[in-house]
Chains A and B, each alone.
Chain A
């Protein structure tokens, strides 16, 4: 009898594993991110990039003609551009070995989890997505490799007129004109080589439209899972928050680890209309064989507010600098970020902001942690245009070095084209205070635990901004990274 009870408890534990992990950090296990399916039955394009592959993808997607042409033009731009020579080395990324499209078997998108193929559903269940949806999300999109496998939005949110669709579905719906008007207008393929790559081979992603004056009380979430080995994920996210509307959108991403390079070159375009507010939160936990060359950009109209909350934990190499254009007068941007670079990681992250409207303001606040030979670079750009009178910008970045085999660089730039502006910048770099560790140890806490606590405290700029469950998950990730940090 008692065994039965134990078994029942075990099952409960399994079923509620995510919830328990979120309250008992000591139990967390990296294996939840490393679940992988062999993908033997997946449909995938041959590795490499050519006009033929792009055409094939376009046919596969049943693209409208303008999109087919857009893809081909983007490919030409991609071929004409150089890889960046100022950031981390990406010579290990060879497009000849990357499959640009992988579709899981039975890939039809579902709006009920029970209809999602079992092995994929299991993956998302272990990542805690269905449970999160049930508890605190207004809608969820789940992408597996190149395709959305699940998409659902709460009825009451839908009834408010909120549109939350898979991107391809939207492209073939009455929203096609809206997509055409906005798609890759903020991030044109000419922007950089991997924006061009995205333009050529994008698939999957989400489209969100929040009508005027609508406030979505609880967040929407898209989760991107790249399971396939040697593949790329190129999802496109387009969000339009109309006048006076309000939205919190959460993006999560992860992948199992392989010994070959994987690539993520997604693109996020956000339009924040007059007096609207958008919060875009990301906890990125790609596997450490991932090249994360993602592009995110927002444009904010008069009185609008853009808030970024960003946690970068995974990837082998990251180039990630969410950018905001403060176009409208009195628009505002806040970027809160943390980057944790461990062994084998070179994470080049930061933010960019361009003030073009008058009386605009921005605040960038970042933390970075380097450990076990990891390289963390904070890179930023603040531009105050000639007409952005009375604008204010402030940048604050702090870096923590946990050992002397790691590296932490801070590379900010400020460009000001008017005298009528106020720009502040501060940066600090340092180590964990021996006194703080000693104090915690004197209270009976182990050194490893003490250092993990201090690092979690250091990251509180981000954890304070996240919904509780995500903050706990972030702290779990930090604790995982800190395991074995002593000796």
Chain B
């Protein structure tokens, strides 16, 4: 079944932080989002200390990676955010999110507040739900981390039948706040993921781990920004991916050192394994810098498996196909290990069919 309202105009999401040649088609991504009036609230089951109406503020001022047009679309749906706030309970909050059964497009905004010096872990799994709906699922998460707060967000895209998945994140980190984001995109849907982490407070830091695999004719489109405003801020982005068949991926990753972010450090690495003859990989890693006293670096490695490694594994009696699967699994496992939650890791490994190492 096709997504409804295909006559709606294209919306441009995931804008690159500084545009480049239009011919490359990476400055943003046009998508056809459903008419907000036809969008329903996604199904969401929460385990842990969260509750709607627990607090009444909203975090709409926090910028996200998918950009303003996407935020406006979410806002126009009129769907209220699930609100989560730290309490004395340190157990992770688990959110099981799935498309609404009857809707072609389902949306869930999530607002998270971590109070000063508090810790919070939120684990979201995005699945097809009990009755698969061949529609779209969009989750927009905003996080406000107070001074000294520690927030970990784990997002696992484990859908198989949903046609499109949108995940959009916006974070604002206070002084010495620590943010960790782990995202795993298992494929099976076109994925559009944005994230913008604003390190506003001095000494704040972020670590982002992204694992993805694309297969068939699947599309993966990412836009990740680390914005350094505070002094001595620290960001890292580690991205591991595997592309098979005719999968197509665009990864935009930006480290943005604003004036005043002296002493800041930003690092980004992407490692892409190309396994399909007709894959398309686009990598656009930016460093924007308006401050002298900073250190920024990015590195990307894109290609096939090392022939020597394949030869070595072959000499140990492992077939080439098995060796390729092993190595591809290892790259994703590297990110799965960052989940840091036994239940979620097990669920992910089972879904992906990769062994626990």
Binding site for B on A (CB under 8 A): 85-86, 379, 381, 386, 399, 401-404, 406-431
Contact = CB atoms under 8 A, between A and B. Distances in A.
A236 B285 CA distance: 34
Interface stretch (B3-11, B74-82, B292-300): B292-300
Nearest to A412: B285
Interface string B117-136: 00000000000000000000
Interface stretch (B18-26, B83-91, B152-160): B18-26
A413 to B, nearest CB: 5
A404 B298 contact: no
- The residue among B19, B22, B280, B296 with the most chain A CB atoms within 10 A of its own CB is B296
A399 B255 CA distance: 14
Given A86-B20, A408-B289, A421-B302, 4 more contacts: A399-B289, A410-B288, A422-B302, A431-B293
Contacts of A399: 287, 289
Given A412-B284, A413-B24, A416-B280, A422 B303 contact: yes
A426 B298 contact: yes
A428 B295 CA distance: 7
Given A412-B285, A425-B283, A420 B304 contact: yes
- Contact size class for B? 35 or more
Contacts of B275: 419
Nearest to B249: A416
Interface string B1-44: 00000000000000000111110101100000000000000000
Contact of A381 (B21, B274, B298): B21
Given A415-B281, A416-B280, A420-B304, A410 B287 contact: yes
Contacts of A431: 292-294
B287 A409 contact: yes
A427 B292 contact: no
Contacts of B297: 426-429
A404 B293 contact: yes
Interface in B233-280: 243, 257, 259, 262, 274-280
B330 to A, nearest CB: 18
Q: Which 8 A-B pairs have the closest CB atoms?
A: A419-B274, A422-B303, A86-B19, A425-B300, A429-B296, A423-B302, A401-B292, A410-B287
Given A399-B289, A421-B303, A413 B282 contact: yes
Contacts of A408: 289
Contact of B288 (A85, A409, A428, A430): A409
Contacts of A421: 274, 302-304
27 contacts: A85-B19, A379-B20, A381-B20, A386-B278, A404-B290, A404-B292, A404-B293, A406-B290, A409-B288, A410-B288, A410-B289, A413-B26, A414-B284, A415-B281, A416-B274, A416-B280, A416-B281, A416-B283, A417-B278, A419-B276, A420-B277, A420-B304, A424-B302, A427-B285, A427-B296, A428-B297, A431-B293
A401 B294 contact: yes
Contacts of A402: 292
Contact of A86 (B27, B288, B294): B27
Contact of A411 (B277, B282, B286): B286
- The residue among B19, B20, B284, B299 with the most chain A CB atoms within 10 A of its own CB is B20
Nearest to A408: B289
Given A86-B22, A414-B302, A409 B286 contact: yes
Contact of B284 (A386, A413, A416, A417): A413
B247 to A, nearest CB: 10
Nearest to B27: A86
B216 to A, nearest CB: 15
A415 B291 contact: no
Contacts of B24: 381, 413, 415
B60 interface: no
A410 B20 contact: no
A410 B289 CA distance: 8
Nearest to A419: B274
Nearest to A410: B287
Contact of B283 (A85, A404, A411, A413): A413
B259 A404 contact: yes
A421 B303 CA distance: 5
B319 interface: no
A419 B241 CA distance: 13
Nearest to A379: B20
A421 B243 CA distance: 13
B298 A407 contact: no
Nearest to A430: B295
A322 to B, nearest CB: 14
B98 to A, nearest CB: 33
B249 to A, nearest CB: 10
Contacts of B257: 429
Interface in B303-356: 303-304
A398 to B, nearest CB: 10
A419 B286 CA distance: 24
A403 B289 CA distance: 11
A431 B277 CA distance: 42
B102 interface: no
B282 A414 contact: yes
A368 B271 CA distance: 26
Contacts of B279: 416-419
Nearest to B273: A419
Nearest to A378: B287
Given A404-B259, A404-B292, A428-B296, A414 B281 contact: yes
A418 B272 CA distance: 12
Contacts of B262: 404
B277 A418 contact: yes
A39 to B, nearest CB: 37
Nearest to B300: A425
Nearest to B255: A429
Nearest to B261: A404
Contacts of A407: 289-290
A416 B291 contact: no
A417 B259 CA distance: 38
Nearest to B257: A429
A381 B302 CA distance: 15
A401 B287 contact: no
A418 B276 CA distance: 8
Contact of B289 (A386, A422, A429): A429
Contacts of A386: 278
B277 A414 contact: no
Contacts of A412: 284-286
Given A419-B275, A419-B279, A419-B304, A426 B299 contact: yes
